[in-house]
Structure 1
Amino acid sequence: MNTGLYLYGIFPESISAPIELKGLDGQSVQSQLVDGFTFLYSDACQEKYLASRRNLLTHEKVLEQTMHLGFHTLLPLQFGLVVKDWEAINTQLIQPYKEQLRDLFQKLAGQREVSIKILWDTKSELQAMMESNPDLKQQRDNMEGKKLSMEEVIGIGQLIESNLLTRKENVIQVFCNELNPLAKEVVESEPMMEEMIYNAAFLIPWESESAFSDRVEAIDQKFGDRLRIRYNNFTAPYTFAQLAAS
């Protein structure tokens, strides 16, 4: 049963070519021009969608596949947005956000989002840090087997943590020095797990992705097995242009 319209994203121009994609609930993805903006949607079979892995991936897949068709300038909408009809879209989205939409489309024109996540093995880094810092290693070794005061335990712990943080910052600085100049904008986010030391998204020109990818590869070779780098070279620009409907 159709309970409304499920929205995926917005484009700044009319889409004349057929999309031929399947969205949530296996519904055909369609486009609708409303007051100068094109909405990507499918018929909603539910009033509210569970944020399951399957549903989230389907939402993202629709956006990415549409971009692959050549419709690059896209504002992705938050998952789960269902509206009653096109009049509701005009009232709830276009009128309150018209200027914001125009500004975001101008910002995104000719740009794409890529992301970098850096992971390392904390135990290996700790061992390498000790080997490269004989004084600190000796200080720690001298404490082994001894009954330490709380101040001594806290002191050596803070010293080790400080040195490890410096190693982490040095690694991150290499990535920033090499990659930031290639980007129009950079957004750093909190790491998603303990061994992730850096998590950032970059807004870069579409034609610059190959050069950006080569730069990432060069950094990866420089650090060798010390780091694991996750590079996503194609994603909807959530970080830089997500329009959250109220």
Structure 2
Amino acid sequence: MSKGFYLYGILTEPLPESIKLEGMDKLQVYSHKIDIFNFLYSEAKQEKYLTSRRNLLCHEKVLEDAMKEGFRTLIPLRFGLAIKTWETVSEQLTIPYKEKLLELFDKLDGRREVSVKVLWNNNSEIQALLASNPTLKEKRDAMEGRAMSMDGVIEIGQMIESGLQARKEEVIDLFRDELNALAEEVIESDTMTEEMIYNAAYLIPWDSESQFGEKVEAIDLKFGDRLRIRYNNFTAPYTFAQLS
């Protein structure tokens, strides 16, 4: 029995019947028009959807498949948005936020989001830092095999941390110098793991992705095995579709 509707995103145009998208619970996705907005939805078989990897990927795939079908401009909705009636959407979203939604559509028109995550190996970077700084290496080596004062240990630790930070900023500055000029907007987010040193999303003209991707590839070649770069060139524009 239906529990209502599960929402994926908002389109500028209705989804044609000829386009078949599979959503949550393997149910077909449709569009429903409220005012001038077209909501991608499927029937909800659950009142609340578990934040599992499978469900998250399904939610994202519906949006990406819509983009592949030619709906380049869409506003993605957060995962797990299940509603019982369309009146709820009108009352809580389209009526109070109509102008802001229109501004988002204008901002995203003809543009796409891509993202870059940069990771390195901390231990390898420490070894490279020590190799390039004989004085620091000598002090660090002196710690091994003999007792040192707490002040001495802290001093060496701070020197290593400062050196790593300088190396990190050198890498990040290169990404900014090479990529930021190609984007209309850049949002840098917190890193998600200890080895991730940079996490950025870029809003770029839709048809300029190949140029952007070539730049990322050139940076990757420049650093070789030192960095692991995760480049996502096709995703719904979550980062740049925030209602302020």
TM-score, structure 2 normalization: 0.96
| Unaligned 5+ runs, structure 2 | none
Question: Residue 195 of structure 1: CA displacement?
Answer: 0.9
Q: Which residue of 1 aligns with 2:240?
A: 240
Q: Which residue of 1 aligns with 2:21?
A: 21
| Preserved CA contact (<8 Å) 1:75 1:243 | no
Q: Which residue of 2 aligns with 1:179?
A: 179
* CA offsets 1:151-205 (integer angstroms, 9 cap, x no match): 1111110011000110011011111100000001111111111111111111111
Amino acid at match of 1:203: L
Q: Counterparts of 1:203-218 in structure 2 under 5 Å?
A: 203-218=203-218
Moved more, 90-99 or 157-166: 90-99
Moved more, 144-153 or 195-204: 144-153
- The alignment covers a number of residue pairs equal to 244
| Preserved CA contact (<8 Å) 1:76 1:242 | no
Question: Residue 17 of structure 1: CA displacement?
Answer: 5.5
1:87 matched to 2:68? The reply is no
SS of the residue 1:50 aligns to = coil
| Aligned-residue identity in percent | 63
| Unaligned 5+ runs, structure 1 | none
Moved more, 130-139 or 157-166: 130-139
| Preserved CA contact (<8 Å) 2:15 2:30 | no
SS of the residue 1:2 aligns to = coil
Q: Which residue of 2 aligns with 1:49?
A: 49
SS of the residue 2:96 aligns to = helix
Q: Which residue of 2 aligns with 1:139?
A: 139
| Preserved CA contact (<8 Å) 2:183 2:204 | yes
Distance 1:80 1:142 in 2: 55
Question: Residue 13 of structure 1: CA displacement?
Answer: 2.8
Amino acid at match of 2:189: S
Q: Counterparts of 1:97-116 in structure 2 under 5 Å?
A: 97-116=97-116
Q: Counterparts of 1:139-178 in structure 2 under 5 Å?
A: 139-178=139-178
Amino acid at match of 2:162: S
* CA offsets 1:74-96 (integer angstroms, 9 cap, x no match): 11001111112222221121012
Distance 1:8 1:18 in 2: 19
Q: Which residue of 1 aligns with 2:219?
A: 219
| Preserved CA contact (<8 Å) 2:143 2:153 | no
* CA offsets 1:121-163 (integer angstroms, 9 cap, x no match): 1111110111111121122223332321111111110011000
Distance 1:18 1:196 in 2: 43
SS of the residue 1:233 aligns to = strand
Distance 2:14 2:6 in 1: 19
* CA offsets 1:1-26 (integer angstroms, 9 cap, x no match): 11111100001233346320110011
| Preserved CA contact (<8 Å) 1:29 1:42 | yes
SS of the residue 1:96 aligns to = coil
Distance 1:123 1:84 in 2: 52
Q: Which residue of 2 aligns with 1:68?
A: 68
SS of the residue 2:240 aligns to = helix
SS of the residue 1:64 aligns to = helix
Question: Residue 242 of structure 1: CA displacement?
Answer: 4.0
Moved more, 142-151 or 25-34: 142-151
Amino acid at match of 1:211: Q
